[in-house]
Amino acid sequence: MIARLVTFFGDDRYKRLRWRLLLLVLFLIVLADVLVPRPHVEHVWDAIPGWSAAFGFISCVAIIFISKFIGHSGGIMRDEDYYD
Protein backbone atom coordinates (compact mmCIF):
# COMPACT_ATOMS: atom_id res chain seq x y z
CA MET A 1 0.00 0.00 0.00
CA ILE A 2 2.75 2.45 0.96
CA ALA A 3 4.80 1.51 -2.11
CA ARG A 4 1.83 2.28 -4.39
CA LEU A 5 1.30 5.61 -2.66
CA VAL A 6 4.97 6.56 -2.97
CA THR A 7 4.92 5.54 -6.63
CA PHE A 8 1.80 7.64 -7.23
CA PHE A 9 3.32 10.79 -5.72
CA GLY A 10 6.85 10.25 -7.05
CA ASP A 11 6.36 9.00 -10.59
CA ASP A 12 5.96 11.44 -13.49
CA ARG A 13 3.42 9.13 -15.13
CA TYR A 14 0.79 10.30 -12.64
CA LYS A 15 1.54 14.01 -12.89
CA ARG A 16 -1.62 14.88 -14.84
CA LEU A 17 -3.79 12.77 -12.54
CA ARG A 18 -2.28 14.44 -9.45
CA TRP A 19 -3.05 17.90 -10.85
CA ARG A 20 -6.61 16.88 -11.67
CA LEU A 21 -7.12 15.49 -8.18
CA LEU A 22 -5.69 18.67 -6.65
CA LEU A 23 -8.00 20.88 -8.70
CA LEU A 24 -10.97 18.66 -7.89
CA VAL A 25 -10.29 18.86 -4.16
CA LEU A 26 -9.83 22.63 -4.33
CA PHE A 27 -13.08 22.98 -6.26
CA LEU A 28 -14.94 20.81 -3.74
CA ILE A 29 -13.59 22.89 -0.84
CA VAL A 30 -14.71 26.14 -2.46
CA LEU A 31 -18.07 24.60 -3.36
CA ALA A 32 -18.60 23.44 0.22
CA ASP A 33 -17.66 26.88 1.47
CA VAL A 34 -20.19 28.48 -0.87
CA LEU A 35 -23.02 26.05 -0.03
CA VAL A 36 -22.73 26.19 3.76
CA PRO A 37 -25.15 28.82 5.05
CA ARG A 38 -23.83 31.47 7.40
CA PRO A 39 -26.73 33.10 9.19
CA HIS A 40 -24.63 34.94 11.77
CA VAL A 41 -21.41 36.48 10.52
CA GLU A 42 -19.21 38.64 12.71
CA HIS A 43 -17.22 40.36 9.97
CA VAL A 44 -18.16 41.61 6.52
CA TRP A 45 -15.66 39.36 4.75
CA ASP A 46 -17.15 36.24 6.37
CA ALA A 47 -20.25 36.71 4.21
CA ILE A 48 -18.25 36.52 0.95
CA PRO A 49 -18.74 33.08 -0.68
CA GLY A 50 -15.47 31.18 -0.85
CA TRP A 51 -13.65 33.56 1.48
CA SER A 52 -12.61 30.88 3.97
CA ALA A 53 -11.17 28.63 1.26
CA ALA A 54 -9.29 31.49 -0.41
CA PHE A 55 -7.97 32.79 2.90
CA GLY A 56 -6.81 29.31 3.94
CA PHE A 57 -5.04 28.73 0.63
CA ILE A 58 -3.32 32.13 0.65
CA SER A 59 -2.29 31.64 4.28
CA CYS A 60 -0.72 28.24 3.54
CA VAL A 61 1.20 29.62 0.56
CA ALA A 62 2.40 32.56 2.67
CA ILE A 63 3.58 30.23 5.45
CA ILE A 64 5.57 28.16 2.95
CA PHE A 65 7.28 31.16 1.34
CA ILE A 66 8.01 32.91 4.63
CA SER A 67 9.46 29.70 6.08
CA LYS A 68 11.69 29.19 3.05
CA PHE A 69 12.82 32.82 3.22
CA ILE A 70 13.66 32.55 6.92
CA GLY A 71 15.41 29.23 6.35
CA HIS A 72 17.60 30.44 3.52
CA SER A 73 18.18 34.08 4.46
CA GLY A 74 18.06 33.73 8.22
CA GLY A 75 20.88 31.21 8.32
CA ILE A 76 18.77 28.40 9.75
CA MET A 77 19.42 25.99 6.87
CA ARG A 78 22.92 24.59 6.54
CA ASP A 79 24.63 22.40 3.97
CA GLU A 80 24.67 18.67 4.53
CA ASP A 81 28.40 18.69 5.24
CA TYR A 82 28.28 21.71 7.55
CA TYR A 83 29.76 19.86 10.55
CA ASP A 84 32.42 17.96 8.56
CA 36 to chain CA centroid, Å, is 21
Q: Which residue has the higher pLDDT, 84 or 65?
A: 65
Backbone angles phi, psi at 80, to 5 degrees: -60, -35
Any domain includes 2: yes
Provide the pLDDT for residue 64: 94
Q: What is the mean pLDDT of residues 72-82?
A: 77
Q: How many domains does the chain have?
A: 1
Q: What percent of the chain has pLDDT over 90?
A: 24
Any domain includes 80: no
Provide the pLDDT for residue 84: 65
Q: How confident is the model at residue 62 (pLDDT cuts 50, 70, 90)?
A: very high
Q: What is the mean pLDDT of residues 32-53?
A: 84
Rounded Cα gap, residues 73 and 9, in angstroms: 29
Any domain includes 84: no
23: domain range? 1-74
Q: What is the mean pLDDT of residues 9-15?
A: 86
